[in-house]
Structure 1
Amino acid sequence: MPIKKFVNQAVLVTAVSGSVIALSLPAQAENWRGWNIHPPGYPNTIALEAFAESVSERTEGRIHPQVYNNAVLGDQPDAIEQTRNGALDFANFNMGPMGPIVKETNVLSLPFIFSSVDHMHEVMDGEIGQRFADALAEKNLIALSWFDSGARSLYNTSRPINSPEDVKGLKVRVMNNDLYVEMIEALGGNATPMAYGEVYQSLKTGVIDGAENNYPSFQSSNHYEVSKYYSLTEHLIIPECLCIAKASWEALSPEDQEIVREEAIKASEMQRRLWVKGSQESREIVLDAGVNINEVGDKSAFQEKMQPVYAEFIEENPDLESLIEDIRSSH
């Protein structure tokens, strides 16, 4: 299903893979509830539902996961708390809003912490990723695999952005996080935290000049209709987790833990493949609609502008400096 249809499917009830529901479940089946912010057909949703189906099949119904889409069980901060206390059993969480709970994950929101999406995969699938998983485990979240959310780039209604000077004076919507505000201000822009649902009209009416996001979101939100310049700054590459509630995880036998872990890794591999395909489809859609897409060949000028952002972050979090250095020196 093309990504352009993702957000056009308003679903008022949960969408659960039908094949997950077994005709007869064992008396002791664990009925797992899973949180997902995305709609049916989205890469993450497809991967989560495949995870649920495979876990149910391989455990012969001992674990019976159901995926609740479109954030019907609450927004992400609520869902994080519900999963931590065991009210939800599993979820797909972005690490951006995880910072207030697990401070180590704020490192993943630092601009240009990763040099590319492949670099992010390499880091998160290795020893450094396990350090983030350990930090999450201390807060009752077991991260079994890491999903992709692409690279976020700047787009606006005025001009291509090739250097920090091109950002000067632009009013740019950002997510509600001090790091993202500081990032835009360091480039000379005016950062404007704003709810995602308000961005389209604000771009259209000139309340803001631009925003930043990945290809699929830029396209599926229809922002490309009112913002004709998309510049591949790729300043934020934020991973997501497939997380299990610690209580649910510890209730499993070692054999079932192994099954769940294996299927979580398979789900991550599927999600990443689907993400690449969907991103390419979205890029073609916005190109066909007349959007000017420009590569930013040399990102060093942007990266240099981030030095004060890093300095302030390290001053406030000196214990995380070695983690930052390990990531940056790993490519």
Structure 2
Amino acid sequence: MEEHMKKIKVNIFLSFLLLTSIITTACGAGSSQDTKVQSAGQGEHHFKLTTIVAPTHSWTKTAEKFKEELETRSDGRMKLEIFPASQLGPEADMIQQMISGSVDFGYITTAYLASRNKELNAWLMPFLFEDIGDANKMRDTEAANQLLDLFSEQGLVGMDWLFTGSHSILMNSGVMDSPEKFKGKKIRAPGSEVINDFYNALGASPVPMPLPEVYQGLQTGVVDGVNASADSAYSQKFYEVGEDFTLLNQFAFNAAVLMSKAKFDSLSKDDQNIVEEAMKVAIDYGNELAIQETVENLELLKKEGLNIHKPSSLKAFQDVTEQIYKKYSDKSPLTKEFIEEAKSS
């Protein structure tokens, strides 16, 4: 009888061990399944986006639209923190932050980026586009997509092109409707080679200056004028320190929409799709907003007392324009292709 009881106890103990093993295995499988879900990109993501413009600028509003789309499409898993007005430093710092992965997205001006890759000067050819709507038609062309592909070599993903209003000339004083008017003037320009070439060819001195410093530069006479859109003229309040705005529309000013390649590659395919779709919707919105706000901001600038001038003809600038087209076309087949495609559209 005692021997029988021992056998019963042993069997109970073995059964307990077996049950424990089954429970542990099941829990382990559940944990493994959770890991698979997490690795499939179902976890939360907290992104950062940076740009140089003011909180009231259309690019910041575009970033807010992107934030909204991300949260909606991911059921709240994706959050976005926006840093406008160069809060994270100048554009050179923004690029390095995206390459390292400490910042995820940036709206970086093509004028700055062209200092890193000369091919991007294609967007900045003077008088290539009649207005921002005309420039926006180039966004999905083969040449424009080839320019986006260049960013992969720098640890970045080129996602799209975001426009602000075409750039014209805002001056402390003076109507700038002919090349002669530019001689001896100091013009704040973004620092791109082609924009510098344009002003130098007109006899002006292009002055590089961070956007947040331009207001004071105009106010103190460090510069005589600024290369500006109606949007930036209003959002940066340049009308308070300038008198005349000549609508040359000489440059279709835009930004490359960039993402950290390290961050993009870390996302699951599904989450990559969410990011891409959300950004596409946001940029569509932003470019339409820029077109709309150009008209609205010109009216607001008039109400603020800024004198608006529209030249009847731009023929006086033709020689300088063709000279610059030839110089950059000779340097780059892609730039030549871009110019020809823009002219034919």
TM range (shorter): 0.7 to 0.9
The separation in 2 between residues aligned to 1:296 and 1:69, in whole angstroms, is: 34
Q: 1:194 to 1:260 in 2, by over 3 A?
A: closer
Q: Secondary structure at the match of 1:284?
A: helix
**2:195 maps to amino acid:** Y
Match of 1:100 among 115, 136, 140: 115
Q: Evaluate the alpha carbon distance shift between residue 295 and residue 48 of structure 1 in structure 2; reply closer, same or farther with a 3 A threshold.
A: same
Which residue of 2 is the match for residue 180 of structure 1?
195
Cα displacement string for residues 215-242 of structure 1 (whole angstroms, at most 9, x for unaligned residues):
1222233322332111111111122233
The answer to whether the Cα contact below 8 Å between 2:247 and 2:309 also exists between their aligned partners in 1 is: yes
* 1:252 partnered with 2:267: yes
Offset, 1:251: 2.5
If the length of structure 1 is used for normalisation, what is the TM-score?
Answer: 0.81
The 1:53–1:177 alpha-carbon spacing in structure 2 relative to 1, beyond 3 Å, is: same
Deviation at 1:27, TM superposition (A): 8.1
2:344 alignment counterpart: 330
Counterparts of 1:178 and 1:102, CA distance in 2: 11
Call closer, same or farther: CA 1:66–1:214 in 2, change over 3 Å.
same
Equivalent of 1:82 in 94, 97, 100: 97
Greater gyration radius: 2
Distance 1:297 1:270, change over 3 A: same
Q: Deviations over 1:170-199 (max 9, x none)?
A: 332222233222211212333333444444
Query: Secondary structure of 2:184's partner?
Result: coil
Are positions 1:292 and 2:307 aligned together?
yes
1:223 aligns with 2:238: yes
Q: Using the TM superposition, give the Cα deviation of residue 264 of structure 1 relative to its aligned residue in structure 2, in angstroms.
A: 0.8
Structure 1: runs of 5+ lacking an equivalent: 1-25
What are the equivalent positions in structure 2 for 1:1-331 lying under 5 Å apart?
Answer: 28-315=43-330, 317-331=331-345
**CA 284–28 in structure 1, closer or farther in 2 if over 3 Å, else same:** same
Aligned to 1:124, what secondary structure does the other structure show? coil
CA RMSD in angstroms, aligned pairs only: 2.6
User: In 2, distance between residues paired with 1:29 and 1:285?
Assistant: 42
Report the secondary structure of 1:329's partner residue. helix
Amino acid at match of 1:55: L
More helix by share: 2
Aligned-pair identity in percent equals 27
Q: 1:326 to 1:86 in 2, by over 3 A?
A: farther
Determine if contact 2:58/2:164 at 8 Å carries over to the other structure. Answer: no
After superposing the two structures, state which structure 1 stretch, 62-71 or 83-92, moved more. Answer: 62-71
* SS of residue paired to 2:123: helix
**Further displaced range: 29-38 or 262-271:** 29-38
With the length of structure 2 as denominator, give the TM-score of the two structures: 0.78
Contact 1:186 1:306 in 2 (8 A): no
**Amino acid of the residue matched to residue 276 of structure 2?**
R
In the TM superposition, residue 287 of structure 1 has moved relative to its aligned partner by 0.9
CA distance in 2, matches of 1:222, 1:254: 43
Specify whether residues 307 and 243 from structure 1 end up closer, same or farther in structure 2 by C-alpha distance, changes over 3 A only. Answer: same
In structure 2, runs of 5+ residues without a counterpart are 1-40
Q: Does the aligned pair in 2 maintain the 1:123–1:330 contact within 8 Å? A: no
In structure 1, give the amino acid aligned to 2:60. Answer: T
Counterparts of 2:314 and 2:96, CA distance in 1: 37
